Structure 1
Amino acid sequence: MTEQAPARPSRFGRDPTAARSGENSAAALLLVFTLLAVVWANSPWAHTYADFWNTHVGLTFGSMHAELTVKHLVNDALMTFFFFIVGLEVKSQFTIGELTDRSRAAVPVLAAIAGLILPAVVFLVLNPSGDDARAWGVVISTDTAFLVGALAIIGPKYPARLRTFLLTLAVVDDVGALIVIALFYSDEIRVWPLVAAVMLLGALAAVRLLPRGRGPAYFVLAVGLWLSLFAGGVHPTLAGVAVALLIPVFTPDRGRVEEAAEVIRAFRQSPNSEYARAATRSLRDSISINERLQTDFGPYVSYLVLPLFALANAGVHLDGNTISEAMRSPLTWGVIAGLVVGKFVGITAATAAVRASGIGALAPGLTLRRIAGGAALSGIGFTISLFIVDIAITDPVKQDQARVGVLAASVLAFALGWVTFRVTDRLSPPVAVGAKLLRDVDPARDHLRGNPNAPLTLVEYGDFECPFCSRATGSIDEVREYFGDRLRYVWRHLPLERVHPRSMDAARASEAAAMQGHFFDMAIRMFEFQDYLEWEHIYRYADGVGCDISKFDEDLHGSKVLHRVLDDAQDAELMDLNSTPTFFVNGRRHKGPFDAASLIRALEETSPESTSPESAAGR
C-alpha cells in the first residue's frame, strides 16, 4: 500500500495547484477587463471612456494643491503597488530563490537579456528615427500574468520546469524594463527632490533596525519617496521597486519558529490577550516581511490594480480609420515584429547558444523545444508595454496605433506559442508520464549504495516521514544482500508535505549531512526515529552521526541544499509521481508490491543477464 499525496506545496508551504489556479483566474480577469475597455471605447458611449479617465482628482491643503487625472492616478499611483510586488519577487529570487544558483540562473538570465535587446533592435529597424523611435521600450517586456495564464490554457506536456524557467526569465525581464523606464522615460530631472529621495532611501534601509513599528515606518517613508521622485521628474512607480529591494527577505529561522511555538504553547495553557498578541507577533516575525507582503498585497495587485490598469489603457478606438492607419503604420508593425519575432528569436537563440557554450545548462527534463514554445508566449507584452505607450508617446493617434500593435502582438504570440507546442509535441512525442526514469543515475550526484558500475539499478523516490518508506528501506537491505555487487541502490527525494509536514525539513537535513559525507548515516537515523523529526531532534541526529554542527546549520540554510531537494521533487512531479515509495527498476517504473521478494523478482526479470543468449541457452 502506498500513501497518496495531494498536490505538493512549494518550499514555502503553499499549494502550487491553488497558486496556479489563482494566477489563471487573475489572467482571465485581466483579459476580461481588456475586452471591456475595448468594448467601452467602441460603444455608443465611447466619449465617456476618455472623459472618465481624463477626469481630474485633486487634493488641497491650505494654499497647496495637487491633482492628477484618474488615468494618471492608476498609472502613477496604483501601478506603484504592481512594481512593488515585482521588486519583492526580484529581491526574493536573488536572495533565496532560483537566481541564487549561478549555473541555474545563467540560461534564463542571458535569455531574458537577449529577449530585451533583440525586440528593441527589430523595432528600431522599422522605426529608425523620429518621434516613433522613442517608443522602442514598448516591445521589451513580457506580461507575466498573461504568460502564466496562456501556458495553462495551452497545457503543454510537463509544464513544471518550463514554468519555473519562464518565471525566472520574467523576473529578469521586469528588472530590465524598470531600468529602461528609469533611464529613458523619466521627465526633466530636478536635483533637490532627488536628494531628499536619497535620504529617504537611507532611512528605509535603516527601518529593519527598529525594534517595533517597522510597518508604519515603511509606509510613511515609502509615501515620502514616491512624492520626492514625482517632484524630481523620475517616474514615481520606481518608488515601489526601491522600497521592495530594501525590505529584508530570509528563509524561516529555526530559532524564531521554535520561539513562536513556545509562545503558542503558553497561550494554550493560559489563554489571555497578552499571550495572544505575543503569539501573533512571534508568528509574524518568524516569516520574512518580504514574503508576508507578497502574500498580503499580491491578490490586490492581481485582482484590482492590473484589471483597472487594463481598463484605463486598453481602450483603443477600433474604427475603420484607426485600423487602416495602424495597418500602414511602421510604429504598429514595429511593435508587432518586436514582440512576436524579437522575443521568440532572441530567447530561443540565446538559450541554445548558452547551453552549447557550456556557460549554463537547462534543468533536467527541460528541452529547447519547450523553451521555444515559452519564448513565443513571451511576446505577450501587455501590462508594461501599454504602460510605456502612455509615457513614451504623446500623440493620441500614435498611441492608438501602438496599442493596436500591442493587442495584435499578444494574440499572435499566443497563437505562435500554441502552434509551437502542438507541432513539437507531434514531431517529438513526449514519453508516457512516469513510465521511464526521467533523469539517468549519476554516481557523482545521486545518493548511491553499492557498486556504481553495477548492471542492476534500483531507484527509490520517498520521504523520511513516510512509514511505508521506512518499511521499504528495511527490505532494501535484503535486496542488496541478495544481489551483492550486481546492484546499485539510489535514493531520491519525494517529500509529501501535505501528509508528512516534516518531510521537507528532513530532506534538507539529509542533504546538509550529505555535504559532510553522512547522507545514509543521517537517513538511517531519521528513519529509526521518524516520529521525532522536529529541529531539536534533527540537530541531535546530525551531531550523533558525526556532523560538524556549525557547518551543518550553515549548509542547511543555503540554497544548494534546497535546490538539491527541489530538483528531485520536480523530477517526480514531471513523472507524475504521487505516492511514496515509488521504485524504478533498471529505469522502468515498478508496479505492484515492493516487498523484498517482489523487488528481487522484478530486478531479475529486467536483468541484462536474463535476456542474453547465454542465459537463454542455460534455461
Structure 2
Amino acid sequence: MLRAFFRTEAGSTSVLLGATLVALLWANSPWGDTYEAFWRIQAGLSFGEAEFSLDLRHWVDDGFMTLFFFLIGLEISYEVRLGQLTDRRLLAVPAVAAFGGLVVPAVVYLALNAGGPGAGGWGVPIATDTAFVLGVLAVVGARCPEPLRAFLLTLAIVDDVLAIIVIAVFYTEDLSLPALFVAAALLAAIVMLRWLKIWRAPAYIALGFALWVATLESGVHPTLIGIALGVLVFVYAPSEYKLLTAGEAVHEFTADPSARGARRAARKVQAAVSVNERLQLRISPWSSYLIVPVFALANAGVVLDAEALRRAVTSPITIGVVLGLLLGKFAGIALGTWLPLRLKWGVLPGNLVWGQLLGGAAVSGIGFTVSLFIVGLAFEDPAVQSQAKIGILVGSSLSALAGWLIFRMAWDRGGVCAPPEAALEPVEELPVLLTEPVGPADHVRGPVVHKVTIVEYGDFECPYCGRLHPIMQELLDRHPTTRLVFRHFPLRTIHPRAVPAALAAESAATDGKFWEMHDLLFANQRFLTDGDLARYAAEIGVDPWPDVPARLDRIGHDEETGRASGVRGTPTLFINGLRYQGGMDLESISRAIGEAERRP
C-alpha cells in the first residue's frame, strides 16, 4: 500500500509543479488579466426555477477538492484500521511530531501578525504537502531510506487530520441552521444505507451530491464532507476464505481459459479487497494527475511584479508564512520527534538516525495544496492573498533546499546508514523446516529404503491438491527411491466436505486401506457427501465412521504440525524436511527431488 502511494504521489509531483509554473507564467504574461477573468466565469446547474451557480475557482476549490479530501478520508480510514496507524508505538512519534509541526509554525506566524490584519492566516503554514515532499525525497534517492518515507507518510496523515480539524473549527463561516440540519439528515441517510448494506452506487452519488450542496449552503466548508464520506467507506483485511476462493478461481481460469472464467476470477479477486482500497486505487491517479494540478492552476497564479515583491518583502504575512514553513515546521517536527523518544512513548520504524529525521523535518516545510486552500478561507483581499501565496512559494522552496542540504551533509558524514532489510515492508516470516519429523503414525507410500521423503499437507476437497495427485504418482514412478507422506490440512472455512473426507480416509486407515481411500477421494473430489463417502467405504470394504473423536484428534494434530511448520494453504510440500517453494508441476518438483538425491 505504501509503495503504491509513493509511486503515485511522487510520480505526479512533476505534473503539479508544471501546473504551478503555468499558473505563474499565465498570471505574469501580457495576458495576465485573463487569468482572473477566466477563473471568475460563472457556471452552474438549474432545476426548473431553482439555480445553483459558482465561479470556476469555487467549483475547483469547493467541488473538485472535495474528492481530494475524500481520498484523504479513505487513506485515514485505511491507515487507522489496517495500516501505519494501527501500531500505537509506531504512531506515537509521528503523531506528536505532526502536532509540533502544527503548533510551532502557527506560533511563529502569530508572533509577527497577532493583532494585525493578517492574524487570521495563522493556519497557512501549518500543513505539509505530501506530493511535493515525496517528490523531493525521490530526488534525494538513497539518502532517504524507506522507513523514513513510512515515518513521513504517517506524519503527513496525522498532519492532514489536524489541518482538517483546524479548517472545520476556525475557518467555518456563519452557519445556516436549516441547511446544516438538511446536511445532517442526508449524512444520516448515507450512514443508514451503509448499515443496511445497500450497495447501490447511484444512491450514494445522488445523496453525496445533495449533501455537498447542503453543506455548501450551511457555511461549513463542503470539503469536510469528503473526509466524512471517505472515513465511512468499508475497509477490511482480506479473509482467508476470500483469498482462497480468489486463488481457486484464478487457478481454474489458467487451467481452462474462457471469458466466463476470466469474469468469475476478476469478481473473486476484486471481492477479496475492500471497497476502500479499490476506491483509492481508482481515485488516486485522478486526484494526483488532475484535481490537485487543476487546483494549483486555479490558485497559484500570483503576480510577481516589482510592486508585489516590494510589498511581500516587508509584509509580516509573507515573512510569517516563510518563517513558519522554514523554521516553524523544522523546529516543531524535530522537537515533536525528540520528546516522545525521550519519554519512551514510541519507537521509530527501521534504523533511522537524526540526520535522516532532521532532513525529513526540513522538507516537511513544503506547504502548498492545503496552504493555498487555507489562504482562500483566511483572506478575502486579493492583495493580501497574493502576499500569503508568495510566502508559500518562497517558504516551500527554501524548505526543499534546506532538506536537500541536510540529507547531503548527513550522507557525506556517514550519518544516513540503514541496512537494506530496513527498507522491507513487514511480512510474516514463515518457517522453512518441518517441525514434526516423519514417524510410525504417518501415512507413507513408497519404498522402505529411500533417499527422499516428500511430506504433503493436503485437503481432499482442494482442486490444487486434486491436480497434484497424479503428478505425485508419476513422481514416485520416476524416482523409485522417493517416498510420499500425506498429512491432513483441511481448509475448513472454504471446503466444508474436507473434514468428513479426511475422517473417511482415517477410518480406512484402521483397516490398512488409507491409500486406497486417498486415491478414491481425489478421483471423486466433486462427490464428497456423506452418502458418497459411505459408498466409497463399501467399495473397499471398510467401516466409514469408526471412532470419530479419535480420528478428529489425529486430523487436528496434523493441522497443528502444519501451522507450526508454516503451512497456510494447500498443497504444501516438504522435501527432506525443507519447505518446497517452487512450481507445483511435474518437472519443477522432479528437479527438486533430483537435487535432494544428490545431497550427501
Match of 1:87 in 2: 73
Change (3 A) 1:288 1:271: same
Of 109, 114, 125, 1:128 maps to 114
Of 321, 329, 348, 2:315 maps to 329
Query: Shift in Å at residue 156 of structure 1?
Result: 4.6
Query: Shift in Å at residue 269 of structure 1?
Result: 8.7
Match of 2:220 in 1: 234
Match of 1:354 in 2: 340
Match of 1:481 in 2: none
Match of 1:544 in 2: 558
Partners of 1:537 and 1:389 in 2: CA distance = 55
Match of 1:316 in 2: 302
Partners of 2:180 and 2:228 in 1: CA distance = 13
Partners of 1:329 and 1:284 in 2: CA distance = 54
Of 328, 348, 372, 2:358 maps to 372
Of the structure 1 ranges 57-66 and 334-343, higher mean CA displacement relative to structure 2 is found in 57-66
Matches within 5 A, 1:446-457: none
Match of 2:149 in 1: 163
8 A Cα contact 1:352 1:368, kept in partner:
no
8 A Cα contact 1:143 1:383, kept in partner:
yes
Of 286, 294, 300, 1:300 maps to 286
**Residues 1:52 and 2:38 are matched in the alignment:** yes
Matches within 5 A, 1:564-603: none
Query: Shift in Å at residue 419 of structure 1?
Result: 1.2
Of 183, 192, 211, 2:178 maps to 192
Q: Write the letter of the residue equivalent to 1:376.
A: A
Match of 2:331 in 1: 345
Partners of 1:284 and 1:537 in 2: CA distance = 18
Change (3 A) 1:298 1:248: same
Partners of 2:257 and 2:133 in 1: CA distance = 48
Match of 1:218 in 2: 204
Q: Percent identity?
A: 41
Change (3 A) 1:219 1:177: same
Query: Shift in Å at residue 317 of structure 1?
Result: 0.3
Matches within 5 A, 1:469-508: none
- 1:254-297 superposed Cα distances (whole Å, 9 cap, x missing partner): 22233445566777899888877655544332211100000001
Partners of 2:55 and 2:257 in 1: CA distance = 51
**Residues 1:244 and 2:230 are matched in the alignment:** yes
Change (3 A) 1:191 1:216: same
Of the structure 1 ranges 425-434 and 369-378, higher mean CA displacement relative to structure 2 is found in 425-434
Of the structure 1 ranges 220-229 and 196-205, higher mean CA displacement relative to structure 2 is found in 196-205
Partners of 1:206 and 1:352 in 2: CA distance = 44
Match of 1:489 in 2: none
- 1:164-186 superposed Cα distances (whole Å, 9 cap, x missing partner): 00000000000011111111111
Aligned-residue Cα RMSD (Å) equals 3.8
8 A Cα contact 2:137 2:144, kept in partner:
no
Report the 3-state secondary structure (helix = DSSP H, G, I; strand = E; otherwise coil) of the residue aligned with 1:66: strand
Q: Write the letter of the residue equivalent to 1:307.
A: P
Report the 3-state secondary structure (helix = DSSP H, G, I; strand = E; otherwise coil) of the residue aligned with 1:131: coil
**Residues 1:151 and 2:165 are matched in the alignment:** no
Query: Shift in Å at residue 19 of structure 1?
Result: 5.4
For structure 1, the residue ranges without an aligned partner over 5 or more in a row are 1-11, 440-445, 447-460, 474-527, 557-579, 581-594, 596-619
- 1:348-402 superposed Cα distances (whole Å, 9 cap, x missing partner): 0111111011111222311222111001001100000001111110111000000
Query: Shift in Å at residue 62 of structure 1?
Result: 1.5
Match of 2:471 in 1: none
Partners of 1:112 and 1:168 in 2: CA distance = 9
8 A Cα contact 1:108 1:166, kept in partner:
yes
8 A Cα contact 1:464 1:470, kept in partner:
no
Q: Write the letter of the residue equivalent to 2:183.
A: A
Partners of 1:529 and 1:187 in 2: CA distance = 71
Change (3 A) 1:50 1:267: same
Match of 2:408 in 1: 422
8 A Cα contact 1:204 1:246, kept in partner:
no
Query: Shift in Å at residue 462 of structure 1?
Result: 11
Partners of 1:229 and 1:269 in 2: CA distance = 53
Partners of 1:260 and 1:546 in 2: CA distance = 25
- 1:516-573 superposed Cα distances (whole Å, 9 cap, x missing partner): xxxxxxxxxxxx999x999989999996364899xx9xxx9xxxxxxxxxxxxxxxxx
State the number of aligned residues: 463
Partners of 2:76 and 2:5 in 1: CA distance = 18
Partners of 1:337 and 1:248 in 2: CA distance = 41
The structure with the larger Rg is: 2
8 A Cα contact 1:254 1:535, kept in partner:
no
Partners of 2:262 and 2:364 in 1: CA distance = 47
TM-score, scaled relative to structure 2: 0.70
Report the 3-state secondary structure (helix = DSSP H, G, I; strand = E; otherwise coil) of the residue aligned with 2:118: helix
Q: Write the letter of the residue equivalent to 2:114.
A: P
Report the 3-state secondary structure (helix = DSSP H, G, I; strand = E; otherwise coil) of the residue aligned with 2:143: coil
Q: Write the letter of the residue equivalent to 2:95.
A: V
Of 89, 95, 102, 1:103 maps to 89
Query: Shift in Å at residue 209 of structure 1?
Result: 4.1
TM-score, scaled relative to structure 1: 0.68
For structure 2, the residue ranges without an aligned partner over 5 or more in a row are 436-484, 500-554, 569-580, 582-594, 596-600
Query: Shift in Å at residue 126 of structure 1?
Result: 0.5
Match of 2:52 in 1: 66
Partners of 2:556 and 2:11 in 1: CA distance = 44
